[in-house]
Structure 1
Amino acid sequence: MAKKHRKWEKFPGRNKFYCNGRLMTAKQTGVFYITVLLIVFTSGLFFAFDCPYLTVHLSPVIPVIAGAMFIFVLSSLFRTSCMDPGIIPRAMGDEAAFIERQIEVPNSSNCQLSAPVRPPPRAKEIVVCGQVIKLKYCYTCRIFRPPRASHCSICDNCVDRFDHHCPWVGNCVGKRNYRFFYSFIVSLAVYCIYIFSCSVAHLMLITIGESKDLIDAIRDSPTTLTVAVICFFSVWSVLCLACYHTCLIMSSQTTNEDVSSYFSHILSFKR
Structure 2
Amino acid sequence: MMARKMGIFYFTVTLIVGTTTLFFVFDCQFLAERITPVIPVVGGVLFVFVMSALLRTSFSDPGVIPRATADEAADIERQIVPSNASNSPTYRPPPRTKEVVVRGQPVKLKYCFTCKIFRPPRASHCSICDNCVDRFDHHCPWVGNCVGKRNYRYFYMFIVSLAFLCVFILACVVTHLILCKSNGER
TM-score, normalised by the number of residues in structure 1: 0.65
Match of 1:61 among 33, 38, 56: 38
Residue 97 (structure 1) shift: 2.1
Q: C-alpha distance in 2, partners of 1:94/1:119?
A: 20
Q: C-alpha distance in 2, partners of 1:95/1:200?
A: 61
**Counterpart code for 2:35:** L
The question of 1:122 aligning with 2:96 is answered: yes
Q: SS at the partner of 1:191? A: helix
Residue 95 (structure 1) shift: 1.8
Residue 139 (structure 1) shift: 0.4
Structure 1 unaligned regions, length at least 5: 1-23, 221-271
1:235 corresponds in structure 2 to none
**Counterpart code for 2:117:** I
The question of 1:42 aligning with 2:16 is answered: no
Residue 207 (structure 1) shift: 1.5
Q: SS at the partner of 1:52? A: helix
1:262 corresponds in structure 2 to none
Paired-residue identity, %: 65
Match of 1:147 among 121, 140, 149: 121
**Counterpart code for 2:160:** V
1:103-160: per-residue Cα shift (whole Å, max 9, x none)? 3x34548xx86x5211111110001111110000000100000111000011110001
The question of 1:91 aligning with 2:65 is answered: no
1:223-267: per-residue Cα shift (whole Å, max 9, x none)? xxxxxxxxxxxxxxxxxxxxxxxxxxxxxxxxxxxxxxxxxxxxx
Match of 1:173 among 147, 150, 156: 147
**Counterpart code for 1:175:** K
The question of 1:138 aligning with 2:112 is answered: yes
How many residues in Structure 1 have an aligned counterpart in Structure 2? 185
1:78 corresponds in structure 2 to 55
TM-score, normalised by the number of residues in structure 2: 0.94
Q: C-alpha distance in 2, partners of 1:95/1:117?
A: 21
Q: C-alpha distance in 2, partners of 1:102/1:108?
A: 13
**Counterpart code for 2:108:** K
Q: C-alpha distance in 2, partners of 1:171/1:153?
A: 12
1:206 corresponds in structure 2 to 180
> CA RMSD, aligned part only?
1.5
Structure 2 unaligned regions, length at least 5: none
Q: C-alpha distance in 1, partners of 2:7/2:84?
A: 48
Q: SS at the partner of 2:68? A: coil
1:154-176: per-residue Cα shift (whole Å, max 9, x none)? 11100011111111111111111
Q: C-alpha distance in 1, partners of 2:106/2:127?
A: 28
Residue 101 (structure 1) shift: 3.4
Higher relative contact order (CA 8 A, sep 6+): 2
Residue 67 (structure 1) shift: 0.4
